[in-house]
Amino acid sequence: MRNPDWSTLPTDLVVRISSLLIADDASDFVRLRAVCRPWRSSTVETKSRADCFCPRNWIMLSDPNSSPSDVCFFNTSTHKSFSFDLTPYLDTYSLLRSLDYLFLLKHKITQGFALLNPLMKSITPLPSKIEPNCANVNAPKRLEDLIVYLSGVFVTSSFTIVLRFILDFLVWTKPGDQSWVYDELNLGSYSYSKLLFYKDRLLAVTYDDKRLVQIDLANEIPNQLQVEVVFVIDELPPTLRKEWYLDLVDCDGEIILVTFKTYPHRCCESLETYKLDLNEKTYVRSPNLDNHSIFLGIYRTFSISCEDLPQVPTNSIYLCALYWGDSDTECYNLKTKHMTYQYCEPFLNPSSLVEKLIKCYLRSYWNIVSEDDE
């Protein structure tokens, strides 16, 4: 029996398979395109999808400034990994920021900005000019004025690129646009949890009135950000702002709210987790993370599947350097309700996977703009 000629698969079938792969893990999509020329030509449109530009669940495990020739990426759901050599790009560009999965670059001659996707090895030029859309006369006019505050990037299904900052504002644009749109966040509360990007929406929980609020980014983002109240989480304590910590996590498609009461000296009590349902507008207390663990940091939060990953304790929450000036980590087991402490200074040269994951939250020293770029 002759071996089948896989290159003759119908185009619509190749497209369907590629769409399923890219929704789960973009690295499998890259491997599919590498099989043969007909499969590559059949997946040109799939390659332009936003989830290929900014794949889900990939995180950067190593510091690109200290080891640019061997930057390690890890998928928190599938546990696949790959290494990326950044050095060929550094002849032309300077590295400004590592943003979750993407690199923010600055051209050494034109001074233009760009995003580098290491998996697709594609570079997307970005505008430098900002068009403020608020009454603030001190609103920034250039992207370079904000680089030091940059903390993350979202890419919507309509390919809008949204940059988030540690201050309360966002900028957004589309490839080919000549400027960014700038607007300040007004969630109706003085303080709120970190923003979670989830299925084309930005989500947060407010401390003052315990509301789950969202900004819908699904289609064209309007010139002014529209905030919608999803529902109120009545079960949360009446006074949150002074002593309580809130964080939202995407746990393989489920939204988890983590709450606990904090104290100044690296300890917490009353830690609870809730599963939130946006469609039903309901929430339920749930001490079970379904074979996952969660890593919380000041700027970044993610969950990791512990299936076939014995080195990461399941049903645990790592509280990674949540206090300013503090590099210690606490690990809370939801089943045993037991807290263990880990001092993080040795993690500057991590060896185990847990140490490398924790190091992701001690990343402020990664993102330093060199004097030549200022």
- For 57-104, what is each residue's pLDDT tens digit? 888 887 787 788 988 888 888 888 888 999 999 999 999 888 778 899
* Closest to 62 measured CA to CA, from 369, 366, 368: 366
**Quick one: pLDDT at residue 223?**
63
Taking a C-beta distance cutoff of 8 angstroms, is the pair 51, 73 a contact?
no
Q: Can you tell me which residue has the tokens 């089943």?
A: 335
**Quick one: pLDDT at residue 129?**
92
* Closest to 302 measured CA to CA, from 252, 337, 339, 353: 252
What three-state secondary structure class fits 268? strand
Taking a C-beta distance cutoff of 8 angstroms, is the pair 373, 308 a contact?
no
Query: Rounded to the nearest 10 degrees, how much is the dihedral formed by the CA atoms of 150, 268, 246, 299?
Result: 10
pLDDT (tens place) for every residue of the chain, 374 residues total: 467 777 788 888 887 777 777 656 666 777 777 788 887 777 766 555 555 566 778 888 877 877 889 888 888 888 888 889 999 999 999 998 887 788 999 999 999 999 898 887 888 899 999 987 766 677 888 998 888 888 888 888 778 888 888 777 888 888 788 999 888 887 766 688 888 988 888 899 988 888 999 988 876 666 667 888 999 998 887 666 567 788 999 998 899 999 887 755 455 567 889 999 999 999 999 888 988 999 887 777 889 999 888 888 899 998 876 554 556 778 888 888 888 876 555 456 667 888 888 877 665 544 444 434 44
Taking a C-beta distance cutoff of 8 angstroms, is the pair 347, 355 a contact?
yes
Q: Can you tell me which residue has the tokens 């983590």?
A: 258
Query: Rounded to the nearest 10 degrees, how much is the dihedral formed by the CA atoms of 8, 13, 17, 19?
Result: 120
DSSP code per residue over 271-308:
EEEEEEETTTTEEEE----SSEEEEE-SS-EEEEE-TT
**Quick one: pLDDT at residue 92?**
95
